[in-house]
Amino acid sequence: MQSGTPKISVIISFYNKTELLKYIFAGLEKQTFTDFEVIISDDGSRESEVALVQELMANSPLKSQHVWHEDAGFRKNMILNKSVVHSQGEYLVFIDGDCLPHPKFLEEHWDLRQKKVTVAGRRINLSANISSQISVDKIKSGYLGGKITYDIVMDAMRNKNPHWENAIRIQNKFLRKVFLKVKDKGILGCNFGLYKADLLDVNGFDERFVHPGCGEDSDVDIRLRNAGKKTKMYKHLITVYHIFHPILNTEGAEWHLYEEHKKNKVGFTPFGIVKKEI
């Protein structure tokens, strides 16, 4: 890792799953782009897990910090805002605590960066079979940059898993221009990057969203657009691999707030990093 102020702050949404965090750290230690810091954005993990997180940080060469608050339900947006405040990088990259980065993940985010543009990637969903075989040693040996693609394709052929083709990475710039178009499509909270200044322009994440489903991605996406910024979505590049788990219950998601922001062209939220009276 380089010393001084990092160019990128990688913000990892985390809650009680230190074993998966070990995999993410292993993946980040293999990055081709090295000028970054790691912020573990912890939505109230229990004391025993916090101790494991501290141990992981102490034994890793990564520059990292742990931002935590007490567990009081789903307050992901609140802890994300606190993490943004603590971040030192001019560019922010957000991933979830169950997503593993390809070795070129940060290099590609940095190369694609643009002011007033959110760079959105997609995730490749791993099967339960592949997920169960992931290990720190495997990742450190280069698995995420190589054989995992073969395993995904073979697994898809046996089990007919959909969207396996997303695992195919197209890095050649000429081939990308021929076969792929950059799409104006929404972000996923598990894989997006933008300049910190752009996120501060809309006051970060709206903390009234207290259920998973839309507040940490769809809402901030629409507000960034309302503030005059663009979103560019790239497939077959800036890859993260999503560890298998049952689908989360998103019942109760505050879609009405999202619809209000969309209808009223809201960019800046008074319920974000800086609290303002309305």
Average pLDDT over residues 28-34: 98
Judged against a pLDDT cut of 90, whether residue 191 lies above it is answered with: yes
Alpha-carbon distance values, 39 to 117, 178, 222 (Å) = 22, 37, 25
Q: Determine contact, residues 78/69, Cβ cutoff 8 Å.
A: yes
pTM (predicted TM-score): 0.94
Is CATH 3.90.550.10 the right assignment for the domain spanning 8-262? yes
pLDDT tens profile 226-241: 999 999 999 889 999 9
Judged against a pLDDT cut of 70, whether residue 1 lies above it is answered with: no
| Structural domain boundaries in the chain | 8-262
- Tally of residues, the chain: 278
Average pLDDT over residues 82-109: 97
How sure is the predictor about 213, in pLDDT bands with cuts at 50, 70 and 90? confident
Is pLDDT larger for residue 160 or for residue 143? 143
Judged against a pLDDT cut of 80, whether residue 35 lies above it is answered with: yes
Judged against a pLDDT cut of 70, whether residue 68 lies above it is answered with: yes
How many other CB atoms are there within 10 angstroms of residue 30's CB atom? 19
What are 123's strand-pairing partners?
240
Mean pLDDT of the chain: 93
What are 66's strand-pairing partners?
40
Q: How far apart are CA 271 and CA 76, in angstroms?
A: 14
Judged against a pLDDT cut of 60, whether residue 106 lies above it is answered with: yes
How sure is the predictor about 2, in pLDDT bands with cuts at 50, 70 and 90? low
Average pLDDT over residues 135-158: 92
Residue 156, pLDDT score: 84
**Percent of the chain at pLDDT above 90?**
77
Judged against a pLDDT cut of 80, whether residue 31 lies above it is answered with: yes
Q: How far apart are CA 148 and CA 107, in angstroms?
A: 19
Average pLDDT over residues 136-156: 93
C-alpha gyration radius of the chain: 18
